[in-house]
C-alpha cells in the first residue's frame, strides 16, 4: 500500500493520524521544533519527498544565491538534498527525495532526522527570520 512508509514515520513519532487530514492528495505535515513543518509525500514512482520552508533569508541576494549554488554542488549520494527559493514568496526551501525501496524503518528515521538536522543548520547559516525580507 502506498504511503505505508509515511505511516511508519508517523507511528514512530507517535503522531495521532486521526487528527491528520491529507491535503493536496496524500501530503502529510509533521511539526518540528515548535513551528517548522516538514511536508511528506510519496510520488507515483515510489520516491519519498520531504519539504520544509526555512523562511526568508536576511542575506543579500548575491550571497544567498551563491551559498545555495555551493550547497547544491553536484553529488550522487543519497539522499539528494536540494536548496532553493520559492519564486512566489521568496521563501528558502529545502527538498529531499529518497527511493522508498531503499528504506526500512531504521533508515527512514535516520533519513528524516538528517533532513531535520540539515534544515536547522541551514536556517542558522542563512540567519533566517520569518517576516524579514531582503532589500
| 52-98 confidence digits (pLDDT tens) | 999 878 888 888 889 999 898 777 777 789 999 988 888 899 999 99
Residue 46 resides in a domain: yes
Q: Specify which residues 48 forms β-bridges with.
A: 42, 98
CA dist 44 and 7 (Å) reads 16
Residue 132 resides in a domain: no
Cell of residue 127, nine digits: 540567519
Q: Which CATH number characterizes residue 87's domain?
A: 3.30.1460.10
CA dist 29 and 36 (Å) reads 10
pTM value?
0.82
55 within 8 A of 119, measured Cβ to Cβ: no
Note down the domain range covering 110: 4-126
Number of domains in the chain: 1
Single out the residue of 108, 87, 106 nearest to residue 98, CA to CA: 108
Cell of residue 35, nine digits: 513551528
Residue 134 resides in a domain: no
The total of other beta-carbon atoms located within 10 Å of residue 92's CB is 23
Residue 10 resides in a domain: yes
Residue 133 resides in a domain: no
- Of the listed ranges 35-49, 60-74, 84-98, 117-131, the least confidently predicted one is 117-131
Amino acid at each position: 500500500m502506498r504511503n505505508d512508509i509515511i505511516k511508519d514515520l508517523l507511528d514512530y513519532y507517535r503522531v495521532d493520524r486521526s487528527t491528520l487530514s491529507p491535503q493536496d492528495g496524500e501530503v502529510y505535515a509533521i511539526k518540528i521544533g515548535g513551528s517548522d513543518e516538514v511536508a511528506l509525500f510519496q510520488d507515483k514512482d515510489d520516491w519519498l519527498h520531504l519539504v520544509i520552508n526555512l523562511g526568508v533569508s536576511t542575506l543579500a541576494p548575491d550571497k544567498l544565491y551563491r551559498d545555495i549554488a555551493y550547497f547544491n554542488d553536484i553529488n550522487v549520494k543519497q539522499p539528494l538534498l536540494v536548496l532553493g527559493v520559492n519564486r512566489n514568496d521568496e521563501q528558502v526551501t529545502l527538498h529531499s527525495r529518497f527511493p522508498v525501496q531503499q528504506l526500512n524503518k531504521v533508515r527512514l528515521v535516520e533519513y528524516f532526522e538528517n533532513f531535520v538536522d540539515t534544515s536547522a543548520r541551514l536556517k542558522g547559516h542563512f540567519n533566517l527570520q520569518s517576516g524579514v525580507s531582503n532589500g
